[in-house]
Amino acid sequence: MTADDGDDGAADVDDEEVRHVASLARVDLEEAEVERFAAQFADILEYFEALEEVPDVDADAELTNVMRPDEVREGLTQEEALRNAPETEDGYFVGPRVS
């Protein structure tokens, strides 16, 4: 499946593609999940193909900037911000190693 194979649709999703997207999204999957998702994604992406038929619409979003003065105000305390972390040290979050 590639971005421009519009002719034969998106009905073809293999396990490798599911694993690739899962790695982009940082979600480990079990083997059974990979297989289920491959079949389901094929159905769902094929259904999304109908979006090809949408006509061009001339629409201007009504957007207004909402500004406020940049003033210091009370926020969470350090203790509150750290309260839900599984691991903290010296007032910091502990994260996994980066490499």
Partner 1 sequence: MSDVFITEAEIEPTGSGPLDGVTVAVKDNISTDGVRTTCGSAMLADYVPPYDATVVERLTEAGATVVGKTNMDEFGMGTTTETSAFGPTENPTAPGRVPGGSSGGSAAAVAAGEVDLALGSDTGGSVRCPAAFCGVVGIKPTYGLVSRYGLVAYANSLEQIGPLAPTVEAAAGALDVMAGVDDRDATTREPPTEASYADAADGDVEGLTVGVATELLEGADEGVRECFEDALEELREQGATTETVSLPSVETAVQAYYVIAMSEASSNLARFDGVRYGPATETDGDWNDAFAAVREEGFGEEVKRRVLLGTYALSAGYHDKYYEQAQDARAWVKQDFDSAFEDVDVLASPTMPVPPFELGESLDDPLQMYLADANTVPVNLANLPAISVPAGETAEGPVGLQLVGPAFGEETLVRAGSALA
Nearest CA to 1 among 15, 9, 48, 18? 9
Question: Quick check: 72 binds partner 1 (CB under 8 A)?
Answer: no
Q: How far is the CB of 89 from partner 1 (least distance, A)?
A: 12
Binding pattern for the stretch 5-44 against partner 1, x by CB under 8 A and - elsewhere: -x-----------x--xxxxxxxxxx--x---x--xx-xx
Q: Which is nearer to partner 1, 91 or 96 (CB)?
A: 96
Tell me, rounded to whole angstroms, the distance of Cα 97 from its chain centroid: 23
DSSP H or E run through 80: helix 78-82
Question: Quick check: 90 binds partner 1 (CB under 8 A)?
Answer: no
Residue 22: how many CB atoms within 10 A of its CB? 15
Cα dihedral sign, 68-74-77-83:
negative
Q: How far is the CB of 45 from partner 1 (least distance, A)?
A: 8
Question: Quick check: 68 binds partner 1 (CB under 8 A)?
Answer: yes
